Amino acid sequence: MDPHDERFQAKVTVLIENVRHHVKEEEGELFPELRRAMKRKELEELAQALEQAKKMAPTHPHPRAPDTPPGNVIAGVASAAVDRAEDTGKRTVRRVLGRTRSRERKAG
């Protein structure tokens, strides 16, 4: 959506409200309940599992991907692999271009 679209500001406002509500709910309700219900070791295991899941998750939005099992799992794994390859390629190109530009400045 273009920032000049007449609905843009309203959409951003709703997004901000939703994120704030989500954070408040997690930090005010969910996390304290988890801390009460789980032992420290269990919390650490949960944190490790979440970190592993993040490594397998796509790094870019895929709005047309399925959002229900099993399609979401299959598409998520494939999307994550493609995303990570793309991210690596872009980082590599930026790094190489940065070195090239640096050499050009020094030579110039």
Question: 1 in a domain, yes or no?
Answer: no
What is the pTM (predicted TM-score) of this model?
Answer: 0.56
Report the largest interatomic distance among the alpha carbons of the chain, rounded to a whole angstrom: 64
- Listed residue (38, 43, 85, 40) closest to 60, CA to CA: 85
Which pLDDT score is estimated for 101?
81
Which pLDDT score is estimated for 13?
96
Question: 95 in a domain, yes or no?
Answer: yes
Question: 38 in a domain, yes or no?
Answer: yes
Question: 101 in a domain, yes or no?
Answer: yes
Which pLDDT score is estimated for 50?
92
Which pLDDT score is estimated for 102?
79
pLDDT along the chain (108 residues), means of 10: 92 96 96 95 95 91 92 92 94 90 78
**Which residues does 72 contact at the CB level (< 8 Å), separation at least 6?**
65, 66
In contact, 80 and 59? CB cutoff 8 Å? yes
Question: 43 in a domain, yes or no?
Answer: yes
Q: How many domains does the chain have?
A: 1
Which pLDDT score is estimated for 29?
96
Domain that holds residue 65: 7-105
b/e for 28-64, b at 16 or more Cβ within 10 A? eeeeeeeeeeeeeeeeeeeeeeeeeeeeeebeeebee
Question: 2 in a domain, yes or no?
Answer: no
Question: 40 in a domain, yes or no?
Answer: yes
Question: 54 in a domain, yes or no?
Answer: yes
